[in-house]
Amino acid sequence: MQLTNLNWPAIQGLSKETPVVFPVAALEQHGHHLPLFTDSLLLGEIIRRTSERLGGRVLFAPLLWLGNSDHHLDFHGTLSAPPRAYLDVLAGMMENFIQHGFRRLVFVNGHGGNEVPGRQALFEVRQRHRERHDLLLLFATYWQLGARPWETEPDLQQRQMAHACEWETSMILRLAPQLVVGDLGKLEAVPTGSVFEPAARGWTTRDRTVPGHIGDPRTATAEKGEALFHAFTNDVVALLERVISWDGKAWNP
Ligand SMILES: [Zn+2]
């Protein structure tokens, strides 16, 4: 079900156990070869495939394309919500649907920079409603749900998501190849490593890359992109099936 296509009495009439999904992504630079809307295009496709498989059992809000992307602002075209404003927007969307009686609220995320504010928003809303024990508030980043896409597509070189990398470039080649610019073979590989792990280090994207991408887009193909979409969609569907079958109160379902 798409929130944008329904009227308010229809929403009022839904079971309040219906999971509500808020897709959140970004509009930010993705190197010389991918469009600024990459994260939103990719998550939109995963949500489209997911909603086809779940039919009327889940309510999908429209994708929020403005994300937390201040770390990319050295690169032209990036649009970023101020981080504290973004946190309040995410919390506010949860509060809206809690006010409407819904209990199962799930952010499905397609941009790394949204993770910290997303988790903080869950934390704050949960504490604000601390007397409630019937709320399920979740934040899930689609590539962090356990997928091991290289097991079905052994040609994949990367083992984790990077930025405008083999994985993202492959998915854009599958979804919108006309938006991939230039000769991928002329790009360079940009390593993802951090010498201060396991400490978390504050960073800007310019600290890590000159062209804007991180990872190796040279080996991207549309076939790999289809395998990635398939694996990630399976994970999002499986998560939402768990949300649907949750009994409404258990901490350990
Ligand atoms: Zn991206």
What distance in Å separates the CA atoms of residue 27 and residue 36, rounded to the nearest whole number? 5
What distance in Å separates the CA atoms of residue 62 and residue 24, rounded to the nearest whole number? 9
Q: Which of the four pLDDT bands, split at 50, 70 and 90, describes residue 228?
A: very high
pLDDT(103) > 90: yes
Per-residue model confidence as pLDDT tens digits over 27-45: 999 999 999 999 999 999 9
Task: List, as one string, the DSSP characters of 175-239.
Answer: H-GGG--S-GGGS--B----TTTTS-----HHHH-SSS-BB-GGG--HHHHHHHHHHHHHHHHHH
State mean pLDDT over 116-120. Answer: 98
CB atoms closer than 10 angstroms to residue 119: 15
CB neighbours of 199 closer than 8 A, spacing ≥ 6?
Answer: none
Contact (CB, 8 A) for 109 and 142: yes
**Residues with a beta carbon under 5 angstroms from ion ligand 1:** 38-39
179: nearest Cα among 65, 25, 42: 42
Cα of 230 vs centre of ligand 1, distance in Å, is 17
State mean pLDDT over 71-78. Answer: 98
Rounded to the nearest integer, the mean pLDDT of the chain is: 97
Cα of 148 vs centre of ligand 1, distance in Å, is 18
pLDDT(193) > 90: no
Cα of 179 vs centre of ligand 1, distance in Å, is 14
Q: In sequence order, what are the beta bridge partners of 139?
A: 107
What distance in Å separates the CA atoms of residue 108 and residue 93, rounded to the nearest whole number? 13
What distance in Å separates the CA atoms of residue 251 and residue 253, rounded to the nearest whole number? 6
Cα of 20 vs centre of ligand 1, distance in Å, is 24
Cα of 39 vs centre of ligand 1, distance in Å, is 5
What distance in Å separates the CA atoms of residue 147 and residue 167, rounded to the nearest whole number? 12
Per-residue model confidence as pLDDT tens digits over 124-174: 999 999 999 999 999 999 999 999 999 999 999 999 999 999 999 999 999
